[in-house]
């Protein structure tokens, strides 16, 4: 009887771990979609809450940064598959096409995103920060 109870206990723990992994995975899917939509629409103010507060503390957005984002239109946002890089961490490479609203010149950048799951708050945070739109064009 004791063996059966232990086996049931382990099965329950395994099931809980599986449920946690599934909810974490679902949270990642929802987060990446919502973040991509905010970027695609060019609404940097809606994208900021996805950034890890520690990242924003270390690299606060200035008015110049905000003004730069207003000078471009995000024409495309092409995601590569997510790659796990550690416990509760994933990396995603995104190719972004930008159009300068004044000159109508288009250029491409690559956004190397690092996302980390906050187990306490049960959501994903963008550790790498917002896309660097000042980088030189990609081929």
CATH number at residue 114: 3.10.450.100
Q: Domain limits at 100?
A: 2-126
CB-count burial class (<10 Å; 0-12, 13-18, 19+) for 120: exposed
Confidence of residue 23 (pLDDT cuts 50, 70, 90): confident
pLDDT at 137: 62
Q: What is the pLDDT of residues 29-47, one digit of tens each?
A: 999 999 999 999 988 999 9
Decide if 138 is inside a domain: no
The 8 Å CB, 24+ separation contacts for 18-23 are 23/122
> What is the C-alpha to C-alpha distance for residues 6 and 58, in angstroms, rounded to an integer?
48
pLDDT at 105: 95
* pLDDT over 90 percentage in the chain: 77
Decide if 44 is inside a domain: yes
Summarize the confidence of residues 43-63 as an average pLDDT. 95
Decide if 63 is inside a domain: yes
Q: If you count DSSP H runs as helices and E runs as strands, how many of each does the chain have, helices first?
A: 4, 5
Residue 15 clears pLDDT 60, i.e. is over it: no
pLDDT at 136: 75
Summarize the confidence of residues 53-82 as an average pLDDT. 95
| Number of domains forming the structure of the chain | 1
pLDDT at 12: 37
> What is the C-alpha to C-alpha distance for residues 96 and 79, in angstroms, rounded to an integer?
9
pLDDT at 139: 54
């Amino acid at each position: 009887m004791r063996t059966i109870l232990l086996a049931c206990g382990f099965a329950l723990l395994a099931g809980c771990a599986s449920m946690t992994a599934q909810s974490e995975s679902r949270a990642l899917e929802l987060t990446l979609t919502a973040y991509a939509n905010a970027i695609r629409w060019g609404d940097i103010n809606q994208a900021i809450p996805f950034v890890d507060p520690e990242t924003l503390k270390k690299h606060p957005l200035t008015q110049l940064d905000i003004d730069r984002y207003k000078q471009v239109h995000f024409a495309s946002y092409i995601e590569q598959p997510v790659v796990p890089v550690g416990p509760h961490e994933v990396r995603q490479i995104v190719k972004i096409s930008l159009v300068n609203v004044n000159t109508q010149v288009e250029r491409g950048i690559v956004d190397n995103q690092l996302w980390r799951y906050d187990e306490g708050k049960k959501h994903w945070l963008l550790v790498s920060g917002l896309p660097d739109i000042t980088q030189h064009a990609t081929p």
